[in-house]
Amino acid sequence: MNDIDKTDEEWREQLTPEQYEICRKGGTEPAFTGEYWDCHDIGTYRCVCCGAPLFDSETKYESGTGWPSFWQPIEEEAVEYSDEDPLGMGRIEVVCSNCGAHLGHVFEDGPAPSGLRYCLNSASLALDRT
């Protein structure tokens, strides 16, 4: 993980304050406020930090949570998982395997075929519309 070696200062220069807080510090945007929670455009969702392809719009669905939700990553190797949960909420963190950016969390209450719900922050994503 984290093939990109940037200083904290370099990340701050590249990202907006909200993107920095979410992607580099593990924050969360409020529900129903992010750019992509109700987006139905076709394309590839990429990491806002490094541009790595993460999720395809074909796997995006309406979860009712207020965050963009997907049932699988574009490739399993695109993301990594951490069960470290400082808030003790039993969540599994999802990060970009290329740069370590915090994306959101994965839950086991999603639709078929995976049964997973990748609940992500819009601020951690950039949609490459096709």
Which CATH number characterizes residue 22's domain? Answer: 2.170.150.20
Annotated catalytic residue, options 23, 49, 99, 119: 119
Residue 119 annotated in active site: yes
Per DSSP, what are the bridge partners of residue 61? 69
In a domain, 107, yes or no: yes
Euclidean distance between the first and final Cα of the chain, in Å? 28
Within a domain: 105: yes
Q: How many domains does the chain have?
A: 1
Going by C-alpha positions, the residue among 126, 127, 106, 120 that lies closest to residue 28 is: 120
pLDDT values of the chain reduced to their tens digit, one per residue, 130 residues: 566 889 999 999 999 999 999 999 999 999 999 999 999 999 999 999 999 999 999 999 999 999 999 999 999 999 999 876 555 566 799 999 999 999 999 999 999 999 999 999 999 999 999 7
Is 73 within a domain? Answer: yes
Whether residue 1 is contained in a domain is answered as no
Asked if the structure places residue 3 within a domain, the reply is no
Element (H, E) at 11: helix 8-14
